[in-house]
């Protein structure tokens, strides 16, 4: 997983370039490319995707520079002139889910983030991963919930929101569906399996 927060572009953002991005200005294509740190995607200025937040954007003069910085080309505007392979596209989506599982991640939100349609994302994700995007999100959340239950003393009603499941009854129901146990029972079972400390009190030398 790549940490893009510290990545700097090779071009400087100007008001003119930002206006080109917001307006999807095709006349700016070829002059620069913009990449979004939170999604790992880079685009042409003319891309019809929703404009990103300015603070998440870095600019590159060439597509090769964006690729070298580990950004992937947008599936919609094809900044490299080639189609992004399905496996790379879905890898980008799963990476985003792994980093943002605690947020509201609907199919529509994931499709918007990855610059595709909900229908195409659902179909392609299932073809590549064998499960749907929503199922992957649920698995990732429950996996993290298991880690928190086993490794912390945080209350169950705090862990649900921490993994993107703020509705407590739904969190408990989904957790039990995935693991066969309620969160409380899972924590109790895990605690009972931990090795007990052996006391040396009373032993003779």
> What positions carry a catalytic annotation?
43
Enter the tokens of residue 51.
């404009």
Q: Which helix (H) or strand (E) holds 86?
A: helix 86-100
77 contacts 49 by C-beta, under 8 angstroms? yes
Other Cβ atoms less than 10 A from the Cβ of 64: the count is 11
Enter the tokens of residue 164.
């993107």
105 contacts 97 by C-beta, under 8 angstroms? yes
Compute the chain's Rg from CA coordinates: 22
């Amino acid at each position: 997983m790549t940490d893009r927060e510290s990545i700097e572009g090779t071009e400087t953002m100007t008001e003119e370039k930002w206006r080109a991005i917001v307006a999807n200005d095709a006349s700016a294509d070829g002059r620069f490319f913009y990449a979004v740190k939170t999604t790992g995607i880079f685009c042409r200025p003319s891309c019809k995707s929703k404009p990103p937040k300015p603070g998440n954007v870095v600019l590159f003069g060439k597509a090769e520079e964006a690729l070298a910085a580990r950004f992937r080309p947008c599936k919609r505007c094809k900044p490299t002139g080639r189609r992004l392979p399905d496996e790379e596209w879905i890898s980008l989506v799963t990476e985003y889910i792994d980093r943002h599982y605690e947020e509201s991640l609907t199919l529509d939100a994931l499709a918007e983030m990855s610059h595709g349609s909900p229908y195409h994302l659902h179909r392609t994700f299932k073809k590549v991963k064998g499960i749907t995007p929503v199922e992957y999100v649920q698995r990732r959340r429950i996996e993290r919930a298991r880690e928190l239950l086993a490794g912390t003393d945080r209350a169950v009603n705090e862990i649900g929101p921490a993994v993107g499941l703020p509705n407590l009854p739904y969190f408990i129901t989904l957790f039990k569906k995935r693991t066969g146990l309620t969160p409380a029972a899972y924590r109790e079972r895990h605690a009972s399996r931990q090795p007990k400390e052996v006391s040396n009190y009373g032993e003779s030398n």
